[in-house]
């Protein structure tokens, strides 16, 4: 089986359907709300607010150059320092989660060598999960308390509204990638939670991150075996929606190729979608230029494996 790195949905999909993956872990993790509560944060002084504002601005400037690993790390460092001054800033927490996810997915994971996974990428996915959880905890102490009390995630999600979408989305994306790398037992442990959360994201904001929820379910219905809900027609419908809404986001095309086209054994579609990405202008969607550059690398890697993917 080919190891994938394409798109935010793929690791999550593996977790949902219980696909065997590299790694034999089964290790667990402690959620942020199990370690701390959102209560008791001290008010930010005027001096601290000034320092925080400067750090956020520094991080923002570096983020604009996130296609360069050093700049992305600088953004993460600056935002982390800002959050040490004000840990109640739930919006900055989910921005940090996205940055940590992209460092893993758009930079570090390219250092994987077959079944030898880059440990820094694995750790960064986990850091992204924690940052997203801290965002949810700061945004909704009620949600964190429900989770801490052992309530089912599909029930606890009811207290969240659209403001929680970024944190929910990046937590699901990073958790799926981390779980896949950790091992089969970990995938199984988180599969129901991840699917419930992404379903809620789809309900709250279908357009988020370039129609990311549809991209996710497009991959899910392609990868899942029939007995677990797999359905190529539903997969195609979700991908069609995601691509039609944001054709300039290359991640949807890559995922459509490596999941749907491979499952359907449609090599012409596979090559067409990947060539679209490889030959395309990453500035088709200027706000996603850095992500598109990473997707071009993924497309090149996938196209090089074409002979092993098709009969």
* Letter string b/e over residues 4-43, b meaning 16 or more CB atoms within 10 A of that residue's CB: bbbbbbbbbbbbbbebebbbebeeebebbbeeeebeeeee
- Residue 298: pLDDT above 60? yes
Sign of the Cα pseudo-torsion (166, 270, 272, 297, in order) = positive
pLDDT at 34: 85
Count how many Cα atoms sit within 13 Å of the Cα of residue 236 in the half-sphere of its side chain. Answer: 9
DSSP single-letter state for residue 43: P
Radius of gyration of the CA atoms of the chain, in A: 19
Read off the pLDDT band of 27 (50, 70, 90). Answer: low
20: pLDDT confidence band, cut at 50, 70 and 90? very low
pLDDT tens digits, one per residue of 92-104: 999 999 999 999 9
pLDDT of residue 11: 45
Q: What is the pLDDT of residue 40?
A: 57
Split at pLDDT 50, 70, 90, the class of 10 is: very low
More confident residue, 52 or 115: 52
More confident residue, 17 or 181: 181
Per-residue pLDDT for 84 more than 70?
yes
pTM over 0.85: yes
Per the CB < 8 A criterion, the answer to whether 162 and 171 are in contact is no
Encode pLDDT of 226-243 as tens digits. 887 889 999 999 999 999
């Amino acid at each position: 089986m080919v190891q994938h790195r394409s798109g935010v949905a793929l690791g999550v999909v593996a977790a949902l359907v219980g696909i065997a993956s590299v790694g034999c872990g089964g290790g667990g993790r402690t959620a942020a709300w199990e370690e701390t509560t959102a209560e008791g944060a001290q008010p930010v002084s005027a001096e601290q607010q000034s320092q925080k504002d400067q750090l956020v601005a520094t991080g923002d400037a570096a983020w604009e150059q996130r296609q360069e690993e050093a700049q992305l790390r600088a953004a993460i460092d600056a935002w982390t320092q800002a959050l040490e001054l004000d840990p109640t800033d739930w919006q900055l927490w989910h921005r940090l989660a996205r940055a940590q996810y992209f460092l893993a997915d758009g930079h570090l994971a390219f250092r994987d060598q077959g079944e030898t996974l880059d440990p820094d990428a694995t750790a960064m996915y986990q850091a992204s999960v924690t940052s997203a959880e801290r965002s949810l905890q700061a945004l909704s102490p009620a949600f964190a308390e429900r989770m801490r009390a052992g309530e089912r995630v599909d029930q606890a999600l009811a207290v969240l509204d659209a403001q929680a979408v970024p944190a929910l989305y990046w937590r699901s994306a990073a958790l799926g990638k981390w779980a896949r790398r950790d091992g089969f037992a970990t995938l199984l442990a988180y599969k129901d939670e991840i699917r419930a959360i992404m379903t809620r994201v789809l309900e709250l904001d279908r357009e988020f991150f370039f129609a990311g929820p549809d991209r996710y379910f497009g991959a899910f219905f392609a990868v899942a075996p029939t007995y677990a809900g797999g359905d190529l027609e539903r997969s195609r419908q979700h991908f069609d929606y995601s691509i039609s809404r944001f054709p300039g986001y290359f991640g949807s095309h890559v995922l459509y190729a490596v999941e749907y086209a491979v499952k359907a054994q449609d090599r012409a579609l596979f090559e067409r979608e990947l060539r679209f990405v490889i030959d395309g202008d990453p500035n088709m969607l200027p706000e996603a230029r850095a992500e598109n550059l990473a997707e071009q690398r993924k497309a090149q890697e996938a196209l090089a494996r074409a002979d092993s993917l098709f009969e």
